[in-house]
Amino acid sequence: MRLHRRRPAGRAAAAGPAARRGDAGARGARGRARRRARPEAGVSDDVLDRWEPVIGLEVHVQLATASKAFSSSAIAFGAPPNSLTDPVVLGLPGALPVFNRRALEHAVRLGLAVGATIRRRSRFARKHYFYPDSPKGYQISQYDEPLCEGGAIELVCGGQRRAVRLTRIHLEEDAGKNTHTAGTTSLVDLNRCGVPLVEVVSEPDVRSAEEAAEYMRALHALVRYLGISEADMEKGQMRCDANVSLRPRGATAYGTRAELKNINSFRFVQKAIEHEILRQARILDGGGTVVQETRLWDGAAGTSQSLRGKEEALDYRYFPDPDLPVLVVDDATIDGLRAGLPELPMARLDRLVALGLALDDARTLMVDRDLGDYFDAALQARGDAALQARGDAALAARGDAAAARSLANWLVGDLLGALNRDGRAVADSPVTPAGLAALVRLVDDDVISGKIAKDVLARAYASGEAPDAIVEREGLRQITDAGAIEALARQIVEANPKQAAQYRAGKDNLLGFFVGQLMKASGGKANPQLASELLRKLLAG
């Protein structure tokens, strides 16, 4: 669908109304701005000493359903433009919407997971605006009777755990996608129009840009754990608007807020809010007044530009949708969905910390459900049954947690590094959980050295062969026989009399030289601790 439009002279395409939904408009402008991109500025302590940021977030999450919210059209990212439409999506006369029950179930699951109150009766409303990405002239949303109210998102920021309260979670449909090309032409793709969304609206509880980014990561992990969305921000499946204001430190009244749109990554959430805090601080420090407005974030340039004055609810002329009945959710439905909830991210974090894992490792395993599942499978394969007891704080005290920490270190530090380097998902890892568990056990039991284990892991990753099979086939087990290692140690000392004399004269750091020579002579198989101990005794003699 091609439209011709008039653009004000000298105004970037991104400043048009389409930009409010983070669509493809103004990519040309962003491309030009990329050449003048600048690094993240951050917010200095002196600004924060004077001004307290007050931040509320509105996050749109596309729900993982096979068909659209109110019609039978399929959903597929990357389909040819305008190939996934129907009379309801196009707003043709006489076409009536029928709500997708799977979208309702997904939204209720999210509400239950955050501890929200699920309304037994909620209602759809029409949100009116005129723009080509919505052929009906309105968006089906929820207004004064949302599906979910209250609840909170738990997060960890700066080593501290806290909860950000939610105002509401409501259902709505997505708009189409506008692409503004050169000249006066705009292209409209309605494939996205009608895709089911939940909008998660927070209270203004967030107090820093870093905290806002962690909120987004926590929500992202939660919807993926629940299986209700892929939440791929590059595909527009999770989009964030941030309402930012400043007030004097110690004040209780809210300042004038600006809304930031077009934020499509965790990093940009933090950068955009930091930029807005600094922008408002400069205005207020100069004696000016912050204007309530909507601003478009340009990630390439690291700046924002004004789009329009901030709309209020009255501007959209909400009223109940007469084509859709009251949405009724009974207790049986809620109880059934509650029973099917998986272990949630923060519960997994608590369990992993109770196992003795460092907080950073536990968070890494918590954020990605597939990675956490891989760790659990590897831990189970290792056979340390005691480590499977959830919430047992005595595990770390008994020392059993050492096995869990070792496994986490190899998974997060070595295997995950290889997967990230190759752009592979943990589900596609050529090293199975059982294979990694077997390798780590060999290291922990001093059967092979850490150096050999890294080489074995690299070979297993490249070939798909089980790591323990490589160890057995190549005869890589450590030499732990003290007599054999002592014989090698004597040969090394006798072959290097000059270094031996220097060591005995006080150059203790030469011990590393002798250990290295012995490891080389043994093909890396000698137990390094035993080798070091025996060499120290020989050199002291």
Secondary structure letter of residue 16 according to DSSP = S
pLDDT for 241-259, tens place per residue? 999 999 999 999 999 999 9
pLDDT at 164: 98
Decide: helix, strand or coil at residue 268.
helix
Decide: helix, strand or coil at residue 158.
coil
Q: How far apart are CA 468 and CA 457, in angstroms?
A: 10
**Amino acid sitting at position 269:** V
Q: Are 203 and 55 in contact (CB under 8 A)?
A: no
Half-sphere exposure of 411 (CA within 13 A, CB side): 32
pLDDT for 311-336, tens place per residue? 666 778 999 999 999 999 999 999 99
Burial (CB count within 10 angstroms: exposed 0-12, middle 13-18, buried 19+), residue 293: middle
Q: How far apart are CA 16 and CA 296, in angstroms?
A: 10
Q: Are 195 and 174 in contact (CB under 8 A)?
A: yes
**Amino acid sitting at position 14:** A
Q: How far apart are CA 320 and CA 193, in angstroms?
A: 20
Q: What mean pLDDT value characterizes the chain? A: 87
Q: How far apart are CA 99 and CA 118, in angstroms?
A: 18
Q: How far apart are CA 310 and CA 242, in angstroms?
A: 12
CATH code of the domain occupying 482-540: 1.10.10.410
pLDDT for 255-292, tens place per residue? 999 999 989 899 999 999 999 999 999 999 999 999 99
pLDDT for 457-505, tens place per residue? 999 999 999 999 999 898 888 777 688 888 888 898 889 988 888 888 8
pLDDT at 40: 40
This prediction has a pTM of 0.80
Decide: helix, strand or coil at residue 211.
helix
Where do the CATH 1.10.10.410 domains begin and end in the chain? 482-540
What is the percentage of the chain residues whose pLDDT exceeds 70? 88
Decide: helix, strand or coil at residue 140.
strand
Residues 6+ apart with CB under 8 A from 510: 499, 502, 503
pLDDT at 60: 97
